Amino acid sequence: MHGLVLKDSQDNVLLHSDYSSLVYGGKANADTLLGNRVTYDGKNFVKVTISHVNLGCIMQYTYDGSPEMVIPFYKPKYQRQTVSIMDCVKLDDKYVVNILYSGTPGQAPEVYMFVPRKYLPVEKEDVGLVVTDSYGNTVFSSNTMLLKLDDIVEVTYPDKIRKAKVVSVKSGNPDMRSDQSKSIKGNVPIADDTMVSLIPSMYGGITNTNTWTTKRKCHCDKLLGCWGKKATVHTYSGWASYRAAIGMGSVDSTDYTVRFLGESGGGYATKKTGPCVLMSDGFLTNLVLQVVNAAAIVVTAAVETVATLGRDYSKTKRLMNLESLSITAYTSPEVVASGHTDIMMTTRLSYYT
């Protein structure tokens, strides 16, 4: 057999000639000071109540360089913050990472990147060891910090976003919060600088549609009174797109919680008023049929919401995995793209800084 293996005093593998070493590549840069909450604000929009859709904030990060792969880790801004890495996309000479997180827009987590050693420059030192492959690529350097994993955990997901029925309302938007979560046990106690790497495969959507009628008198005369009525049919459609996210437990525990965090949402309202006539059931039926189909409203508005997200992050050509925001998630009360078992990795920032 041929090859080279280097280990430290604790028997951790520092270099294995059959594998490219992953090392600490530095901190990714947040594109803005504050994250964005993505809501529909197009035609006939109804302002979203943030708490009614568990709506999180989205922050975009960039990492300069073009290695063939990177592994992003995030450090939560505060204890028990719920965070999801939405995607990590290579665009020309940089990587873009989109993070969904709970809290205020100013509480975005920090993101750190790990890359193959050969993509980082070799800093000359008086003492140390540098190993290159047959192509001259650096695969190990004693003055760089290798990725050291504390824990590797299998993550599974709830099979529903919400079990409780969404109760329709006639003003504002209804409560469509997720009420499902799942506890996950790690193997190593959480530290105050624990970082997590996981891109959850679970996402879905909830929608709610409500139609009701109001009537008022018309053709009124002071002496003869009113002999006609006008009917108005009102339609409200609301929706929220959800993504699985991870919340770490308290320091020294091994507890993690899988929750659903809203990544976008919206509400759309229309009304159609008929002429002043003697009211009849037939007239009302015809009026209802004139109201725009609720499912079409939701699909159209959801598409516009995604487009809004693209405009907000117009710096790059493809910043989100738009396949994940499948519009089919909004054509029935709840659709969940069942996530498979994912692998969560943890490490600690203090190993590298």
Q: How far is CA 323 from CA 87, 178, 204, 248, 337, in A?
A: 11, 22, 12, 28, 11
Dihedral, CA atoms, 288, 291, 292, 297, nearest 10 degrees? Answer: -90
Residue 123: inside a domain, yes or no?
yes
CA distances 82 to 19, 107, 136, 261, Å, are 33, 11, 42, 8
* CA–CA distance, 110 with 15 (Å, rounded to integer): 28
pLDDT at residue number 284: 44
For residue 40, give both structure tokens: 């529909």
Q: Is residue 6 part of a domain?
A: no
With respect to residue 14, please indicate whether it lies within any of the assigned structural domains. Answer: no
Q: Which of 258, 236, 262 is nearest to 248 (CA)?
A: 258
Pair of tokens at residue 115: 């890359």
Alpha carbons 285 and 76: distance in angstroms, whole number: 54
- Longest CA–CA span in the chain (Å) reads 108
Provide the domain limits for residue 188. Answer: 21-351
Secondary structure (3-state) at 33: coil
- Mean of per-residue pLDDT scores for the chain: 75
223, burial (CB in 10 Å: exposed 0-12, middle 13-18, buried 19+): exposed
pLDDT for res 190? 96
Domain contains 7:
no
Dist. CA 37–CA 279, nearest whole Å? 44
What tokens appear for 124 in the block?
């000359």
**Other CB atoms within 10 Å distance of the CB of residue 25:** 26
Work out the number of other CB atoms within 10 angstroms of the CB of residue 227.
Answer: 12
5 lies in some domain = no
Question: Looking at the domain assignment, is residue 13 inside a domain?
Answer: no
* Positive or negative: CA dihedral 290, 294, 298, 299: negative
Tens-binned pLDDT, residue by residue, of the chain (353 aa): 345 555 666 666 555 544 457 888 899 999 888 998 888 777 788 888 888 888 999 999 999 877 778 899 999 999 999 999 988 888 888 888 999 999 999 999 999 999 876 665 556 554 556 666 666 665 556 566 778 889 999 999 988 888 888 888 777 778 888 999 999 999 999 999 999 999 888 888 887 878 888 888 887 877 777 777 888 888 888 888 888 999 999 999 999 999 999 988 888 888 888 888 764 444 444 444 444 344 444 444 444 444 444 333 333 223 333 333 333 334 444 555 555 788 899 999 999 88
Structural domains counted in the chain: 1
pLDDT in tens, 237-256: 888 888 899 999 999 999 99
- The helix (run of H) or strand (run of E) holding residue 237 is strand 225-248
- The separation between CA 243 and the C-alpha centre of its own chain, rounded to angstroms, equals 5
CA 342/CA 184 separation, integer angstroms: 12
Tokens of 276: 């002043």
Asked whether residue 130 is domain-assigned, the answer is yes
